[in-house]
Structure 1
Amino acid sequence: MTQPTFVHDRPARVGLIGASATGWGRLAHLPAIASIPGLQLTAVSTTRQESARATADEFGVPEAYDSPDALIASDAVDLVVVAVRVEHHHELLHKIARAGKPVYSEWPSGSNLQQTVQLRDAFASAGVPAMTGLQARSTPGMRYIRDLVQGGYVGRVLSTTLVGAAVPWGDVVAPGNAYLQDDALGGTMMTIPFGHSIDGICSVLGEVTSISAMTAIQRPVVRLEGTDNTVQKTTPDQLLISGQLADGVMISAHYRGGRTAGTSLRWEINGTDGTIVVTAQTSLQLSPLKIRGATAGESTLHELEIPASYVRADPSLPYVAATVAEALLVVESDLRHGTRFAPTFDDAVTRKVMLDALRRAADTGITQHLV
Structure 2
Amino acid sequence: MINVGIIGLSASDAAWVSRSHALALQKAPLSSAYKLHAVATSTRETAAASAERWGIAPTKAYTASSELASDPDVDLVVVGVKLPLHYQLTLPLLEAGKDVFAEWPLATNLEQVAKLQSAARRGGGRAIVGLQARASPVILKAKEIIDSGTLGKIVATTVVGWDNSLLYLPPRFDYEHDARNRADISTITSGHVLDALCFLLGEFESLSSSINTFFPRISTPHHEDEVHRDAPDSILVQGILQSGAMASFSMVLTPPGTPSSFTWTIAGEKGALKFESNNINIQIIPPKLYVYGLSDRNSPNNRASEWKEVSVPEPLYFGQVGELYEAFANGEKVPGTLTDFDGAALRHRMLEACLRSSQTGTRQSYI
* TM-score, normalised by the number of residues in structure 1: 0.89
Q: Structure 1 pair 236/42, CA: closer, same or farther in 2 (3 Å)?
A: same
Residue from 62, 65, 75 that aligns with 1:65: 62
**Kept in 2: contact 1:334–1:340 (CA 8 A):** no
Higher relative contact order at CA 8 Å, sep ≥6: structure 1 or structure 2?
1
2:261–2:280 Cα contact (<8 Å) kept:
yes
**Matched residue, 1:92:** 89
Match of 2:69, SS state, is helix
* Equivalent-residue separation in structure 2 for 1:150 and 1:249 (angstroms): 15
Quote the residue 1:48 is aligned against: 43
Taking the aligned partners of 1:231 and 1:149, their CA distance within structure 2 comes to: 44
* 1:292 corresponds to which of 277, 280, 290: 290
Unpaired segments of 5 or more residues in structure 2? 295-302
Which deviations, in whole Å up to 9, do the C-alpha atoms of 1:316-368 show, x marking residues without a partner? x4x22xx0111111122359x9x975110011101011101101111111111
Equivalent pairs, count: 349
Measure how far apart 1:169 and its partner are: 4.4
Scaled by the length of structure 2, the TM-score of the pair is 0.90
Determine the structure 1 residue equivalent to 2:160.
Answer: 163
Provide the aligned C-alpha RMSD in A.
2.0
Q: In the alignment, which residue of structure 2 is the partner of 1:141? A: 138
Deviations 1:88-113 (A, max 9, x none): 11111111112111100001111112
Aligned residue runs from structure 1 range 277-316, under 5 A:
277-280=274-277, 281-296=279-294, 297-306=303-312, 308=313, 313=316
Moved more, 221-230 or 199-208: 221-230
193, 199, 203: which one pairs with 1:207? 203
Is 2:31 the counterpart of 1:25?
no
Residue 160 of structure 2 aligns to a residue in which SS? strand
Residue 344 (structure 2) pairs with residue 348 (structure 1): yes
- Change beyond 3 A, Cα 1:97–1:197: same
| CA distance in 2: counterparts of 1:13 and 1:228, whole angstroms | 43
Mapping 1:1-371, distance limit 5 Å: 11-20=1-10, 21=12, 23-35=15-27, 36=30, 37-62=32-57, 63-167=60-164, 169-170=166-167, 172-258=168-254, 259=256, 261-280=258-277, 281-296=279-294, 297-306=303-312, 308=313, 313=316, 317=317, 319-320=318-319, 323-334=320-331, 341-371=337-367
Note the C-alpha offset of 1:27. 2.4
Runs of 4+ residues over 3 Å off in structure 1: 166-169, 258-263
Could you tell me how far apart the structure 2 residues matched to 1:340 and 1:212 are? 26
Identity %: 29
Distance 1:64 1:167 in 2: 38
